[in-house]
């Protein structure tokens, strides 16, 4: 414990930690935001077209078997970025998170009761408006569950990027390991956990703001 106190006592260390934390937030949450949008678009395609559904679900299962470290490696070969470019991590995590979210989105859309969409159509909603104002909001609880898993796993995954030089808080693990020094590793684990917890709480709050009807029954 004294070690940790000493480690954190240094102003330079604290400034570096803040940088790494912000880096970590950037590397994990940008892919999350991008993949939510992508997953909604792809999920809608899955929902509307059967063949797209089979293809995309199959593809997302395959993507999920590729280790992230391998994906970090293959992306430069495919799109021509530098091997140590942080963009690789962002793209890799976007691919994973999208793969993770497509199926729940498609299933949530499919689970919207037919009588609800029929009623919306009968009232004169055009397809796009119906999707945005009826089907999508009703899918939020399922989508939110997927996003929560995605955020937790992204936050823990970014650390692996440290092995290729872009890891946010993960850098603390490689530094600590090289110096045989526990303090940064412990600080890194704790900060990762706290970050995951805080983001999860924010997501829960956001979900509850977006879906007031899910708790309406409880007050009765």
Partner 1 sequence: MIFADAFAWLVDPVNWSGGKSIPVRIGVHLLYCLGAVLGAALIAVPLGLYVGHTGRGGVVLVGGSNALRALPTLGLVTFLYLVAGGGTTGVLIGLVVLAVPPILAGAYAGVQDVDRGVVDAARGMGMTGAQRLWQVEVPNALPLLVGGLRNATLQVVATASVAAYVGIETLGRPLLDGLRVLDYGQFVGGAILIALLAVVLDVVLAGVGRLVVPAGLRLSAVTPSAQVGAARSSRAQPRRRGEPAPAESGGSTA
Q: Pick from 101, 117, 129: which is nearest to 42 by CA?
A: 101
Q: Does 66 bind partner 1 (CB under 8 A)?
A: yes
**How far apart are alpha carbons 84 and 106 in whole angstroms?**
35
Q: Does 7 bind partner 1 (CB under 8 A)?
A: no
Q: Which one of the spans 40-48, 189-197, 202-210, 212-220 is the region binding partner 1 (CB under 8 A)?
A: 189-197
Contact status: 132 vs partner 1 (CB under 8 A) = no
Q: Is 220 helix (H, G, I), strand (E, B) or coil?
A: coil
Residues 79-98 that bind partner 1 (CB under 8 A): 83, 96
Nearest residue (CB) to partner 1, 15 versus 201: 201
User: C-alpha distances in angstroms, 197 versus 13, 90, 150, 151, 211?
Assistant: 23, 21, 13, 10, 21
Neighbours of 217 (CB within 10 A): 7
The least distance separating partner 1 from the CB of residue 124, rounded to whole angstroms, comes to 32
Among 67-75, 114-122, 123-131, 211-219, the segment contacting partner 1 (CB under 8 A): 67-75
Contacting residue, 20, 101, 109, 134, with partner 1 by CB under 8 A: 101
Structure tokens at 45: 């395609």
Stretch that binds partner 1, among 5-13, 114-122, 170-178, 208-216 (CB under 8 A): 170-178
Pick from 90, 131, 170, 203: which binds partner 1 (CB under 8 A)? 170
Tell whether residue 219 is a contact of partner 1 (CB under 8 A): no
User: Closest approach of Cβ 215 to partner 1, in Å?
Assistant: 16
Q: CA triplet 79, 21, 199: central angle to 5 degrees?
A: 90
110-129 footprint of partner 1 as x/- string (CB under 8 A): --------------------
Closer to partner 1 at the Cβ: 83 or 119?
83
Q: Which residues in this chain contact partner 1 in the complex, by CB under 8 A?
A: 57, 61-62, 64-71, 73-74, 76-77, 83, 96, 99-101, 103-104, 107, 142, 145-146, 148-150, 152-153, 155-157, 159-160, 162-164, 169-170, 172-174, 176-177, 180, 182, 185-186, 188-189, 192-193, 196-197, 200
């Amino acid at each position: 414990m004294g070690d940790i106190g000493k480690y954190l006592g240094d102003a330079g260390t604290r400034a570096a930690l803040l940088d790494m934390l912000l880096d970590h937030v950037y590397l994990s949450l940008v892919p999350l935001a991008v993949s939510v949008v992508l997953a909604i678009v792809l999920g809608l395609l899955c929902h509307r077209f059967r063949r797209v559904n089979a293809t995309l679900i199959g593809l997302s299962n395959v993507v999920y078997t590729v280790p992230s470290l391998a994906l970090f490696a293959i992306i430069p070969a495919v799109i021509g970025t530098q091997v140590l470019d942080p963009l690789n991590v962002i793209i890799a995590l976007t691919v994973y998170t999208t793969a993770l979210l497509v199926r729940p989105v498609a299933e949530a859309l499919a689970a919207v009761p037919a009588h609800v969409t029929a009623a919306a159509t009968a009232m004169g909603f055009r397809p796009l408006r119906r999707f945005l104002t009826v089907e999508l909001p009703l899918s939020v609880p399922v989508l939110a569950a997927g996003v929560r898993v995605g955020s937790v796993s992204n936050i823990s995954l970014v650390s692996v990027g440290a092995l290729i030089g872009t890891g946010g808080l993960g850098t603390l693990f490689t530094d600590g390991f090289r110096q045989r020094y526990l303090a940064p590793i412990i600080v890194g684990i704790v900060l990762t956990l706290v970050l995951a917890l805080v983001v999860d709480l924010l997501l829960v709050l956001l979900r509850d703001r977006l879906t007031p009807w899910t708790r309406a029954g409880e007050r009765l």
